Structure 1
Amino acid sequence: MIRLELSGEHTRLHSTLCAQCPQGPAGCCVSPPELDWTDIGRIVSLGGRGWLLEQIAAGNLLPVSRGLELRRVRKREERAAPRRSKCVYHGPRGCTVPAERRAATCNYFLCEDAFAERADGRADPASAASRQAHALLREVYGRWDRELAAAVTGLPEGPPWDAPFLDWLGAEFERLSSAARGELAPLAPPG
């Protein structure tokens, strides 16, 4: 069963299948996405600058050319299971960080298995709307990230990974988000 939680650029998609992922207990967390420039700006805009700086210092978020890579760790899901690499933030009950600290992809991605028909053979009523939300968010975040990547690439010494740089990314995210209000209107919360 799919549940679509509308909240503009912060929209989230949920599926009951994730708890019983056919790919294994870590599911898509085996290959976590990077926090791209837009994700970093989004996290800062939601009050997460200090958290980002802490996680960079702790080595859980690693600077790369396109943003921050999430460290992968080797852990067992069960005592008898083999160790598998997965996202540092994946725990026994799923993600250990709140939605406002995750890559946007982690909040809006659902695999094809989740979008598939229900066990009773009928289509999930939320599937079509969820696919549309996913496509819109993917397009918008991709465009924003290309714009931010061009600006970051223009920095003569590269990203400094300090509070002013993160604050700039947060302000840029808010600017892009504000300019896209009309485009994101289909994802506005009801009421």
Structure 2
Amino acid sequence: MIRLELAGMHTRLHSTLCGSCPQGPTGCCASPPGVEWSDIGRIVSLGGAGWLLEQMAAGTLRPGQRGLLILRVEPQGSDGGALPKRCAFHGHEGCTIPPERRAATCNYYVCDDAFAHGGEPRGAPEALAGREAHDALVDLYGSWDLELAARIRERWPDGPPWNLDFLDWLGREVRRLASRAAPSMRVLRPGT
């Protein structure tokens, strides 16, 4: 079953298949997404600038070409053999950080198997609405990342400074982009 929590750019999708992922106990978390420019701005806009700086200092997040990269670690209690590395934020019961600190992809991505399991091929309304929201979020965040990348290259040609001023700037930019995109986010709001 697919469950959709509509909340604009903070929309979340859930699938009952995730708890018993056919890909293994870490599922998607074996290859965590990057925390892209728009993700960083979204996290900052929700009060997470200090958390990002703490995670960078701890080495859990590190600068990359398109934002921050998440450390992959051996599962606890693993001898490095049978289980693959996974996202540093993956715990025994899934993600250990709240949704407002995650990359948006971690909140809205469910795989094609989950959509099929949720009834998309049979036209289940929840699965169809979930796919529509998923696709809208992929387009939204993708376009924001391209625009933010261009602005960052223009403003900081040698790379961003990775300090509080830069993070605050990204937060303001994402709020600006969200305000501009509000009319196109109708599908991501409850009651529409």
TM-score, normalised relative to structure 1: 0.93
RMSD: 2.0
1:123 CA displacement: 4.7
1:160 is matched with 161
Query: What is the CA–CA distance in structure 1 between the aligned matches of 2:161 and 2:76, rounded to whole Å?
Result: 36
Q: Once the two structures are aligned, what percentage of the paired residues are identical?
A: 57
1:124 CA displacement: 3.5
1:189 is matched with 190
Deviation by residue 1:49-103 (Cα, 9 ceiling, x = unmatched): 0000000000000101110000000115779x72420000000000000000000
SS in 1 for 2:184: coil
Task: Give, as a single letter, the amino acid of the residue that structure 1 aligns with 2:59.
Answer: G
2:40 is matched with 40
Task: Give, as a single letter, the amino acid of the residue that structure 2 aligns with 1:94.
Answer: G
Question: Structure 2 matches for 1:14-163, cutoff 5 A?
Answer: 14-75=14-75, 82-117=82-117, 122-154=122-154, 155-163=156-164
Query: What number of residue pairs does the alignment pair up?
Result: 190
SS in 2 for 1:8: coil
SS in 2 for 1:180: helix
TM-score, normalised relative to structure 2: 0.93
Structure-2 change in CA distance of 1:20 and 1:77 (3 Å): farther
Query: What is the CA–CA distance in structure 2 between the aligned matches of 1:187 and 1:16, rounded to whole Å?
Result: 21
SS in 1 for 2:130: helix
1:131 CA displacement: 0.6
1:169 is matched with 170
Query: What is the CA–CA distance in structure 2 between the aligned matches of 1:69 and 1:189, rounded to whole Å?
Result: 32
Unmatched tracts of structure 2, length 5 or more: none
1:166 CA displacement: 0.1
Structure-2 change in CA distance of 1:54 and 1:82 (3 Å): same
1:156 CA displacement: 3.2
Deviation by residue 1:151-190 (Cα, 9 ceiling, x = unmatched): 1112133110000000000000000000111000121123
Deviation by residue 1:88-130 (Cα, 9 ceiling, x = unmatched): 00000000000000000011101011000459x9553311111
